[in-house]
Structure 1
Amino acid sequence: MRIWMEEQVGEKDHFAAGITLSVIGLAVAAIALPCGVTLMALILGGPVAEVSLAACIGGAALTVFLARKIGRKVHQYCTVFCQDDEGRLFAVDIRKFVGCQRGAIGFVQMLFQMQKAKKNMKTSHILERYMRQRPSLTGVETQILSVEKMRMAGNGWRVICQVEYPNKKRGKRSFLLVGGYENEGELVAAFERRLKGTVM
């Protein structure tokens, strides 16, 4: 039985505060960069229209880059991979345990609820208890049946899998194995063993 979570989840978990500050920083950067560059162009007497356009494009590119990094961090934090004693591999998304809320305050509340759900999952050992019972997490969580493709993506892997959902329907789903999981070498190996065409 193996469970892979992001490293250092526990008493020193600052996920919610870190993501909140990151989003605030992103918003400030998206506004400050174009405004600051345009103001400098006005002060220095440069071509304001051209400089403003370049600053807006740069600000948009920076926003997309930072938003992707924040999204990858949230995805990594909220996705827990489990392998039971019979070798079945599951993906648990803790976001499904959190109610949807609107607005900026609701977003922050959701982050703290995710952090609480993750901590409870680890301290109560609920996944371990489920996996010790038959039929483990089958029919409860998404089961990874096979891997169709694995490719490097930043500091991790993007994996396209054939999965079976709790409602027994099958389909394709993409996962990010972002660097930072506990014993991530074992996690990558678990996916590689399910890669189509791999000789076991």
Structure 2
Amino acid sequence: MARRTPPVPFEPQDWILEAKTELFRVVENRPGRSVTSFNPGICGPTRFAFFGSPAVPVLYAAQSEEAAVCETILHDVPPGPGTVLYDNVKGRVCTQLAPTRDVRLAAFMGDGLRTLGTEAKYVTATMASQYPRTVLWSQAAHEAGYDGVVWMSHRRDTDRAYVFFGDRVAPTDMVQVPGLAHPFAAGPGFDWLADYLASLKLEILMT
């Protein structure tokens, strides 16, 4: 039977995220909030955070802009057809970042799940009600010395998602990539988002 909690000893497969690999992140477009800011534990629980005392800061990112949108704006939106409130997108921006060094991650996908004796439905594809249990897997990766975790996005399972541990990956280990900065409030960023959502049979509802 597939495991629901991490095995002991915890020996996952390594995934090396190479330096300069471009990642995407959707963040709040407000002063003091940058694409390389780690969350110190000031919001509610997530799939792989928070753990530790004090809480280990985390930074989530995705392989593509679409995956970053799916993991944030569409996180709690059921499959279309449907609507997304403009109020939920107007304060957000999608930007790119990249590690300045190779980052060693625990692989929670593909053969990595089989190596750990589990399946995606117990770790990376659960309901939010299971977060108190799934966070144990990232805590195990942290205790095993990893810089973070990589998995296939549950909401866009063609792309990878990442979480980085703030006591292993310093803010200086991540830099913003010049070029892409899509504020979703208006302009090209809004147009891109509206077109992408339309392809999913979702419409932005202006309020």
TM bin, normalised by shorter chain, reads under 0.3
More helix by share: 1
Q: Which has the higher contact order (CA 8 A, sep 6+)?
A: 2
TM-score by length of 2: 0.24
TM-score by length of 1: 0.25
Point out the structure with max Rg over C-alpha: 1
More strand by share: 2
